[in-house]
A and B are shown apart, each in its own frame.
Chain A
Amino acid sequence: MLVRKLKELIIEKIIFLCGVLSIIFVGLIFLFLLKEGLALFKFISPGGFLFGKSWYPISEPAQLGVLPLILGSLIVTLGAAVISIPIGVGCAVYIAEVAPAKTKEVLKTGIELLAAIPSVVLGFIGMVTLVPWVKNIFHLPTGLTALSGSIMLAFMAMPTIVSIAEDALYSVPKSYKEGALALGATRWQSIYRVMLPAASSGILAAVMLGLGRVIGETMAVMMITGNAAVIPQSILVPVRTLTATIAAEMGEAVVGSEHYFALFAVGIVLFVISFAINVTADLFLHKKR
């Protein structure tokens, strides 16, 4: 009796520990990030960091303006959004509303496979196919540009956008569609006048989550965006993103140096952006219910 109770108690505690562990880890990571990142501001003002226009971490004195990196990340993300949102939402509509059952299965499997491609493989494929192509079409000195990054990242955002948007469309009550068709609407009219508005919050959430994935992506962008930390004047120039900066420079930064702390501060900026995107997505998802 007592043994049994003790057993129950121990199992209960272990499960509880598993439950709170993830929160503890997130908290610890965040604290560590804050501690290391905020130490930067002993050397440089927050304004100088956020709005500084040049990133030369190893020059003397080091210039640690993160603005080119933020803009680099944003332009790549924006480009990926412009490409992946219409295609992704279109694909979701096709799967949810138009495709016959067999095509639907094939497409869904295809989308899952797309999600399963490691980003380094996508980056590699982009490097040998897309980069020369961009170079030739736009007559550029190099094909390693924000555009190349956007196109590759669009492939990474699409699976998320398609599967969540398709769920949203699928959960729209069938009676809306019936009602629209019974009023003499064509299939397309019923989709864009009724189904899409009805699923809009879920579709917005899908888009936000897809973009969240893009902004946090590192390997592919590092391989094909050219990594030049300058403020981008167009989408056809090399850029450097927040993620690529951390990945490329962390190995060579001296622990405890300005540069080291600055990379953690870049991590905080990235964290804040992803967090904002995820919260927005969550808001849209909950608005629906």
Chain B
Amino acid sequence: MTPKIKIENLNLWYGSFQALKEINAAFLEKRITAIIGPSGCGKSTMLRVFNRMNEMIEGVRTKGNILIDKENILDADTDLVVLRKKVGMVFQRPNPFPLSIYENIVFGPKVHGLNNRYELEQIAEHSLRSVLLWDELKDKLNHFALSLSLEQKQRLCIARLIAVKPDILLMDEPCSTLDPQATSKVEELMRELKNNYTIIIVTHNMQQAARVSDDTGFMLLGELIEFGKTEDIFTKPKDKRTEDYITGRYG
């Protein structure tokens, strides 16, 4: 199977600090890949390379190739609007816009030029259904999105992404602000979304990685130490450092 995303010799610097070192990996389609590692290991940086959100920070330099469907997205002439439409991102803290629930969901499609009211409503319903919020919120579409619970907000952010019909979902510790019950609901949602999307999740919750992911990559100090099937990484890690991290010797 050809990989959905292929990383070749990826290096990234913030000023003079090298945050990613010679990373090579391949991510498969319609699977959940978890990236784990202690704080500061570069896992969020790595995630933000896929939609080039790192470039908001001044002084970032990137070298290497990232092929998504065989196209190198690090090319200078990559259209960021197209890229980010295809590669969506869910943030650590739910960040719905201070608009109505409906306006939040149709934000993406509207920004990409869709104005047909009927189609927008269809998209809103479909997106909310995909994140299992439709029944809860269908009568509250005009309510202010910031009045929702944290878990609902995070689901809404996922719905907002789905509305732009991405291929790949990047999730940056999507459950770190949620309680255990909400976390398990979002994890359930991720398993369901896997049928349609390629998902990459960054987490420092190892149990979460073990529960939801198919593949896992372990990062340490900017290096990708080990990458493979989740069961293999967790049951028979090849590298001593992976084993130490998984068994909780540091982290």
Residues of A within 8 A of B (CB): 173, 175-176, 178-186, 189, 193-194, 197-198
Contacts and interface: CB of A to CB of B under 8 A. Distances in A.
Interface string B28-63: 000000000000000000000001010010000000
Contact of B111 (A173, A176, A183, A198): A183
B48 to A, nearest CB: 9
B28 to A, nearest CB: 23
A185 B161 CA distance: 12
Contact of A183 (B56, B98, B108): B108
22 contacts: A173-B95, A178-B95, A179-B96, A179-B160, A180-B111, A181-B53, A182-B88, A182-B89, A183-B111, A183-B160, A183-B161, A183-B164, A184-B80, A185-B111, A189-B111, A193-B97, A193-B107, A193-B111, A194-B97, A194-B107, A197-B97, A198-B98
A194 B53 CA distance: 18
Contacts of B85: 183-184
A184 B107 CA distance: 10
Contacts of A179: 91, 95-97, 157, 160
Given A197-B99, A198-B97, A178 B160 contact: no
B82 interface: yes
B93 interface: yes
Contacts of B204: none
Given A185-B111, A189-B111, A180 B97 contact: yes
Contacts of B83: 184
A181 B83 CA distance: 11
A197 B107 contact: no
Contacts of B80: 184
A184 B164 contact: yes
A202 to B, nearest CB: 12
Given A176-B98, A198-B98, A184 B81 contact: yes
Nearest to A185: B111
B112 interface: yes
B82 A184 contact: yes
Query: Looking at A181, A183, A186, A194, which has the most chain B CB atoms within 10 Å of its CB?
Result: A183
A178 B97 contact: no
- State which size class the interface on B falls in: 20 to 34
A248 B250 CA distance: 79
A265 B107 CA distance: 52
Contacts of B161: 183
B76 to A, nearest CB: 18
A183 B88 contact: yes
| Chain A at the B interface: SS class | helix
A171 to B, nearest CB: 12
Interface string B92-112: 010111110000000110111
A201 to B, nearest CB: 10
B84 interface: yes
A172 to B, nearest CB: 9
Nearest to B112: A184
Nearest to B79: A184
B160 to A, nearest CB: 7
Contact of B53 (A176, A178, A185, A193): A178
A89 B161 CA distance: 30
Nearest to B51: A182
Contacts of A197: 97-99
Interface string B150-189: 0000000100110010000000000000000000000000
A189 B112 CA distance: 10
Contacts of A173: 95
B53 A175 contact: no
A175 B89 CA distance: 12
A105 to B, nearest CB: 15
Across chains A and B, which 4 residue pairs bring their CB atoms closest together, nearest first? A175-B95, A184-B85, A184-B84, A182-B89
Nearest to B83: A184
Query: Looking at B51, B53, B96, B111, which has the most chain A CB atoms within 10 Å of its CB?
Result: B111
A183 B169 CA distance: 11
Interface in B69-89: 80-85, 88-89
Given A186-B81, A194-B107, A198-B98, 7 more contacts: A176-B98, A179-B96, A179-B157, A181-B84, A183-B84, A183-B107, A184-B112
Contacts of B93: 175
A95 B1 CA distance: 49
Contacts of B99: 194, 197
B44 to A, nearest CB: 12
Query: Looking at A173, A179, A197, which has the most chain B CB atoms within 10 Å of its CB?
Result: A179
